[in-house]
Amino acid sequence: MVTNSSALIFWKTESLTNATVSYGLNTSLLESESNTTLDTQHRIQLDGLNIDSKYYYRVTTNGTESETYHFRTAPPDGGEFKMIIIGDNRPHSVITEQPEEYKQFVQMIAAEEPHIIIHSGDCVLDVSDNHEANLLSWEAFNNVTDGMGHYAPIYAAIGNHDTGSKTGARLLEYFFDAFEQYGEPSTYYSFDYAGVHITVLDTEELGYEGRIVGDQYDWMVNDLESSNREMKFVVAHRPMYPLTHIGDSLDSVPAERDALQQIFEDHNVSLFICGHDHLYNRMTVNGVVHIISGGGGGPLYSTPWAVGFYHYMSSNVSQSEVSLAAISLSGTTRDSYRLPYEGPIEIFLRAIANTSTHQIGTMPEIYFSARPSQKYFSWDSGGNQTDLTGIPDTNGLHTLDVYANDSEDVWSSAYFEFTAVGEVITTTTTTGTGNGMDPLLIFGSLAVAGVVVVLIVVFWHKRGK
Ligand SMILES: [Fe+2]
């Protein structure tokens, strides 16, 4: 754990040993700190370090030396730092086999020499009531993750696979072991780094999965309210606008999700970082950029519009500017973005992979990067409507025009084409309402400002007549 003037180096040994950290601005490691009290857990604090500097270090324990690693101290408030985001690396089926993709990303991330790393959760396949198996499973995770953890502090949000919730209890000791924290360990916490406020939430509270409620909710509101930082990020495992885990993410109670979004808007949260959906998605909702980054190595969710790819996020952050890039296994940038965004309103279609178990509402969902002063929707070049209603009920090609006006009276527009190829299923009920669900399979292409055409597939349901 590293600040702009200190670092806490933490390691464990199997037997009682003494502990020394040798460190310095070059590999001569001319300075050192020691603890002669024999222990198995070693915490050596290095103080008086130079700001925004690369330090090399090595630990020695009863005469056994580690390799030489390095880390970077934080820049001053407002200074630029490199932040990595990765998550959902959990094994596919064997608890001790961390995915090869994750191993490769860990090496790529270490080579980037980041200041800090954010892990958005789901480190391991399972936490069961078998203690020995849990130890093996987390050891496999830690052994791989150390490949970057030796070089930068990792701040993690807990994922559903990390909690032991399947046992009916919360088994957090392994998570807390893997991610050493200052003070009393907590699954939700916040910190300031170089003038940026970062709040980490726990979407996995037993019985309240996919919700932020009770003490945590009160804490979060107070945390965001009391921070005067201009740049704020929130990290959690489950998304607010999931593409596949629909209805069991932070949208499990939609009114609560909407309230959370409002709190983030009110408190100037720039970025909401999450995983859980094993894919990549970026969408701005009223000024809050929602990044789903769940491509760290776990089994990808196949999505028809091809956002299921392995990746991590590389980000340069300062208190006034953020650049974000989704980096694939081959090292190519699959998406990039810069904040603050200063163009006309961006219009997003939330591409939703509906399945038989995860159904969304009756309409395509359109989001705006800022609240429009005016907005209009037009189906099939028909009349403008101020709210999106009236999904066409015939198969074939349909078009949707969306217009949004920003506070400076600049209009944006987006044009969507959908081809409905579904079959209308009429059901009869005895309640007299006579409504059945009519699955429509809709293929479309989305043109964004004439720059890129993205092929998407959207499924949605509409009510029968
Ligand atoms: Fe998850």
**Residue 340 Cα to ligand 1 middle (Å):** 29
Distance 240 CA to ligand 1 centre (A): 13
Q: How far is the CA of 346 from the centre of ligand 1 (A)?
A: 29
Residue 84 confidence class, pLDDT cut points 50, 70, 90: very high
Distance 452 CA to ligand 1 centre (A): 31
Count the alpha carbons within 13 Å of 440 in the hemisphere toward its beta carbon.
25
210 C-alpha to center of ligand 1: Å? 10
pLDDT band at 465 (very low <50, low <70, confident <90, very high): very low
Among 20-29, 315-324, 344-353, 418-427, the least confident range: 418-427
Q: How far is the CA of 421 from the centre of ligand 1 (A)?
A: 32
Angle at 367 between CA 385 and CA 454, to 5 degrees: 105
90 Cα–ligand 1 center, Å: 9
Using the mean position of ligand 1's atoms as its centre, give its distance from the Cα of residue 301 in Å.
Answer: 12
CA of residue 88 to ligand 1 center, whole Å: 7
Look at residue 178 and tell me whether its pLDDT is greater than 90. Answer: yes
Q: Is the pLDDT of residue 173 over 70?
A: yes
CB contact at 8 A, 307 and 272: no
CA–centroid distance, residue 272 to ligand 1 (Å): 16
Ramachandran quadrant class, 67 (left: phi over 0; alpha: psi -120 to 50; beta: rest) = beta
Q: Which tens digit of pLDDT belongs to each residue from 149-163?
A: 999 999 999 999 999
Paired with 453 in beta bridges are 447
* CA 331 to ligand 1 center in whole angstroms: 25
Expressed in angstroms and rounded, the spacing between residue 442 Cα and the centre of ligand 1 is 28
The bridge status of strand 437-448 relative to strand 452-463 is: antiparallel
Domain residue extents for the chain: 7-72, 81-339, 366-463
CA of 329 to the centre of ligand 1 (A): 21
**Level-2 CATH architecture, domain 81-339:** 4-Layer Sandwich (3.60)
Q: Across residues 184-191, what is the average pLDDT?
A: 95
Mean pLDDT of 19-29: 97
CA–centroid distance, 101 to ligand 1, in Å, is: 17
Flag whether pLDDT at 426 surpasses 50. no
pLDDT at position 397: 83
For residue 238, how far is its CA from the centre of ligand 1 (angstroms)? 7
Tell me what pLDDT residue 421 has. Answer: 56
Give the pLDDT confidence score for residue 392 in this predicted structure. Answer: 76
Determine contact, residues 199/229, Cβ cutoff 8 Å: no
Average pLDDT, the chain: 88
The neighbour count for residue 432, using CB atoms within 10 Å, is 5
Distance (angstroms) between ligand 1 centre and the Cα of 239 equals: 10
Calculate how far, in angstroms, residue 278's C-alpha sits from the geometric centre of ligand 1. 8
For residue 388, the CA-to-ligand 1 centroid distance in Å is 32
Domain 7-72: CATH superfamily, name plus number: Immunoglobulins (2.60.40.10)
- Name the nearest CA neighbour of 301 among 279, 283, 280, 281: 279
Calculate how far, in angstroms, residue 409's C-alpha sits from the geometric centre of ligand 1.
41
Kindly report, residue by residue over 231-266, the tens digit of the pLDDT: 999 999 999 999 888 889 999 999 999 999 999 999
Q: How far apart (Å, rounded) are the C-alpha atoms in residues 36 and 169?
A: 38
Ligand 1 mean position to 463 CA, how many Å?
Answer: 31
CA 306 – ligand 1 centroid, Å: 20
Instruction: Give 120 Cα–ligand 1 centroid separation in angstroms.
Output: 9
pLDDT tens across 307-331, in order?
889 999 999 999 889 999 999 999 9
In angstroms, what is the span from residue 282 Cα to ligand 1's centroid?
18
